[in-house]
Amino acid sequence: MGLVKVGVIGIGNMGSSHVQMLDKGQIKGATLTAICSSNASRIKWVKNNTQGNVQIFRDVDTFFNESGIDAVLIATPHYSHPELAKKAFAKGIHVLIEKPAGVFTKDVLEMNEAAKLSGKVFGIMYNQRANPLFQKLRDLIQSGELGEIKRTNWIVTDVYRSQSYYDSSKWRATWKGEGGGVLLNQALHHLDIWQWTTGFLPKSIRATCSIGKYHDIEVEDDVTAFVEYENGATGVFITSTGEAPGTDRYEIVGDRGKLVVENDELTFYRLTQSERDFNATYTGGFGVPEWKKIVIPVKSENANHSMIIQNWIDSIVTGSQLLAPGTEGINALEISNAIYLSSWLNETVELPINPDLYYEKLQEKISTSTFEKKSVTNTTLDVTGTH
């Protein structure tokens, strides 16, 4: 086939970046054909920053019906991802969505079903999956080098945000506009990598989400979650936008040692024998298994959006495997929904959660909200732009 004709819907921070990559020819096998935005200033930006042969649409349906695109990159606010993806699949268009897959699993399950029925290539912008550091970490775990997982811990507090960040838009950090706070926005990549590297989801979660603990917002900015896995392992996930200086430390303990990701480095504290074997055979009383500290020679690369887009285009053209299939977007969302639900109900919840129950509770949050932002820098809500 010839060049894949790509459209971008949503020209916020991320959408603008994607437009520039495509327009400058940085994605092989693809050409930017059209954009869709209802924001006049963003349309002006597109006109001033592209080569001039890009079709511009203000209406979503007209965009899908008349643009002639083969594939669409969706970079709109969270709630709209499943709806727009389903429209695209119905038109026989390939889809790449920004994270999150959606706000609630009920909607995302419907999107995933539509994707499967369409037969189109469906990806999600989980760019951290293209990070060589996390790829190596996953390989070490999946290959059995670490042995059976006993514990996971991830502290993600290096995502500090000021009040002015939350005041930058009406929709940001509201239940109606964004559907959540730090879990859905800053920490969602971490939730994906957490389950992707280990290879499985928790079986249950008990969590506390603090609403507006450090900011004048109606959603969570501080979270602590305790999880249990099917094999008896446990884990803790902590994230906050109100701590400085922050920490980003991910530990996975297995019966053959411990893997640590911190400061863009991967370290393997490797036991010379299984801890379980040592425990069963050691007769010296006080003593610990021997271990060696190994710094894995892998370079962390965080900005890999272009790699995910290129991988998606390659899959469309050649049928190659997706690094971040869109249908897997539900996994991190399942964890975040379970964390919210546990906090709201003040109880341990089992996974998968009841999608109807979560949707009901989220709608209660929206319908009973009396929160009003005291100061908003940008008063215009563009339904086709985000981040």
Task: Give me the pLDDT at residue 10, please.
Answer: 97
Share of the chain above pLDDT 90, in %: 92
Provide the pLDDT confidence category of residue 357 given band limits of 50, 70 and 90: very high
**Do 183 and 80 share a structural domain?**
no
Residue 273 lies in a domain: yes
- What's the whole-number average pLDDT of the chain? 95
Provide the pLDDT confidence category of residue 169 given band limits of 50, 70 and 90: confident
Task: Give me the pLDDT at residue 387, please.
Answer: 43
**Do 138 and 36 share a structural domain?**
no
Residue 215: closest CA among 167, 149, 157, 269: 167
Name the domain boundary from 326, 359, 382. 326
State the average pLDDT over residues 46-64: 95
CATH code of 223's domain: 3.30.360.10
Those residues whose C-beta lies under 8 Å from the C-beta of residue 135, and which sit 6 or more positions away, are: 129
State the average pLDDT over residues 15-19: 97
Domain total in the chain: 2
Provide the pLDDT confidence category of residue 150 given band limits of 50, 70 and 90: very high
Contact 333, 100 (CB under 8 A): yes
**Do 118 and 172 share a structural domain?**
no
DSSP 322: P
State the average pLDDT over residues 37-66: 95
**Do 234 and 140 share a structural domain?**
yes
Contact 33, 55 (CB under 8 A): yes
**Do 286 and 143 share a structural domain?**
yes
**Do 357 and 278 share a structural domain?**
yes
Task: Give me the pLDDT at residue 375, please.
Answer: 84
Task: Give me the pLDDT at residue 384, please.
Answer: 41
Task: Give me the pLDDT at residue 200, please.
Answer: 96
**Do 50 and 120 share a structural domain?**
yes
Residue 379 lies in a domain: no
**Do 198 and 124 share a structural domain?**
no
Domain of residue 66: give its range. 4-128+304-326
Residue 277 lies in a domain: yes
CATH code of 106's domain: 3.40.50.720
**Do 186 and 174 share a structural domain?**
yes
Residue 287: closest CA among 306, 302, 272: 272
Residue 149 lies in a domain: yes
> For residue 175, which amino acid is it?
W
State the average pLDDT over residues 298-304: 88
**Do 351 and 243 share a structural domain?**
yes
Distances from the Cα of 4 to the Cα of 27, 33, 121, 152, 308, angstroms: 10, 9, 12, 41, 15
* CB count in 10 Å sphere of residue 234: 15
Query: What is this structure's pTM?
Result: 0.95
pLDDT: is 2 or 268 the higher one? 268
**Do 260 and 206 share a structural domain?**
yes
